[in-house]
Amino acid sequence: MASDNEKWPVGTMRDGVRKVRLARESKNAGKDVIAYKVPYRDSMGTQTSKTWNTWKKATAFRNKIRSQKDSGILEDYRSKKTVREVAEKWMGTVEAMRRPETSSVYRTMLDLHIYPVLGDVPVRAVTKDDVQEVVNRWSKDRAARSVRLCFGVLSAVFQSAFDTDMIRKTPCTRIVLPELPRNRFVPLTPASVWAIANALRPDLRMMVLVGAMTGLRVGELRALTWDCIDFDRKMIDVVYQVQDREFCPLKTSSSYRSVPISPLLVRLLRKYRDTEGSVLADVPVRGDKPRRVELVFLSPGGRAQSNNLFTHKFRKVCEELKIQATVHTLRHTFASVMIDRNESPKKLQSWMGHSSISITMDVYGHLYPNSDDSVRNAIDEAFGDGEGE
């Protein structure tokens, strides 16, 4: 006699198990072949099922799935983990592994631009269209570079959700982003460099000249010590930057470098040291004990300079002189002088501390002279006038 569980209609569900007719098996057997299907969501949140040939096996599997859900092994991600929750967990890794300056930028992007629009939305509910709509909204009142930075942070958050099996795929693929404008910077002329330098007090004057003659970043200028300047070799070794009055690691591994200095800069630096003297200062080192060093450029209080001291004074003088420039223009000026003297892109990459030649060419490629005439002349010189032979 058939049991109650075998009498209920095919195609209907009873207590989490669906009774089904197996079409192929029924055709081969010449009679109905019945099975029992258990639908469920797997650990990725994907709807799936498993079919069994007996009610007993099907209910045993159903009970196992229910047990795993109760213990948290399987979860329904439709109502779990918001963008904010995933982002905060991701930020924990960022803060442990990245520089504080980088973490601070990411935190600002999250708090001001991402959380207000997506923070409380479950990560599994966010679609590609949602992300595109957010990017479109950002693009209305923000610069293209800022929009791309915000999107980069958002994309990293969803990649983290994907990597930890919270979502089946990231919604941040094939998003249309605003194009970056091609900003062609204008380097300073030597006369402008001298004019700015001579309008500043001695230490800031020297910072302008070193920046324009070596291409060091402003944080690297603040961290320059006398023992990193080799007057005999005519080289500066770049090993630190100063942020928030602390020695910090450089931007990338390529930023650790040696930069040649000219005889003129050697004379200027020696004269500056003889005039201003050298003073030992205890400078905090991020993640390590303080170092007692002779900084080339000190604050009036005898410490490492703050982040905005040089920048503020430089900007004020440029406004008075009606010169359009930032402290980063000094770095561009060094690069433009090297290019004007036909230095190779590979050497320039090394001196600038760029991680790849593509960065150097993206920023400074337009300054290199057109090589078409060089090609024409090289061919003529190589083959000579051999027509008719």
Q: Which of 164, 179, 201 is the last residue of a domain?
A: 164
**3-state class of 204 per DSSP?**
helix
For 251, half-sphere exposure in the C-beta direction (CA atoms, 13 angstrom radius) is 12
Lowest mean pLDDT among 22-26, 38-42, 217-221, 235-239: 38-42
Tokens of 114: 């991402």
Q: pTM of the full predicted structure?
A: 0.63
Domain co-membership, 20 together with 139 = no
Number of domains in the chain: 3
Alpha-carbon distances of 331 from 235, 237, 338, 344, rounded to whole Å: 17, 16, 11, 17
pLDDT at 225 over 80: yes
Q: How buried is 97 (Cβ within 10 angstroms: 0-12 exposed, 13-18 middle, 19+ buried)? A: exposed
pLDDT at 386 over 70: no
pLDDT tens track for 121-151: 999 889 999 999 999 999 998 889 899 999 9
Enumerate residues 6+ apart whose C-beta is below 8 A from 126.
83, 118, 158, 171
Lowest mean pLDDT among 32-36, 174-178, 371-375: 371-375
pLDDT tens track for 286-345: 888 999 999 999 998 889 999 899 999 999 999 999 999 999 999 999 998 888 888 888
* Domain assignment of residue 389, yes or no: no
Domain co-membership, 158 together with 126 = yes
Domain co-membership, 103 together with 48 = no
Tokens of 159: 């990649």
Domain co-membership, 218 together with 351 = yes
Please report, as a single letter, which amino acid is at residue 66: R
- What is the domain-level CATH number for residue 325? 1.10.443.10
* Domain assignment of residue 140, yes or no: yes
| Full domain range(s) for residue 102 | 83-164
Domain co-membership, 153 together with 194 = no
Return phi, psi of residue 147, to 5°: -60, -45
Residue 240's nearest CA partner among 360, 338, 99, 361 is 99
Alpha-carbon distances of 315 from 195, 310, 323, rounded to whole Å: 13, 9, 9
- What is the domain-level CATH number for residue 108? 1.10.150.130
* Domain assignment of residue 296, yes or no: yes
Domain co-membership, 56 together with 108 = no
pLDDT tens track for 59-101: 999 898 888 665 544 544 444 789 999 999 999 998 888 777 7
What is the rounded distance in angstroms from the CA atom of residue 373 to the CA atom of residue 370? 7
Q: Which long-range contacts (CB under 8 A, 24 or more apart) does 23-32 make?
A: none
pLDDT value for 100: 79
DSSP state of 85: H
Given the DSSP bridges, would you call strands 288-294 and 280-285 parallel, antiparallel or unpaired? antiparallel
What is the rounded distance in angstroms from the CA atom of residue 61 to the CA atom of residue 52? 9
Domain co-membership, 354 together with 232 = yes
Residue 250's nearest CA partner among 364, 104, 102 is 102
CB neighbours of residue 169 within 10 Å: 10
pLDDT value for 277: 86
What is the rounded distance in angstroms from the CA atom of residue 34 to the CA atom of residue 20? 6
Domain co-membership, 160 together with 293 = no
* Domain assignment of residue 378, yes or no: no
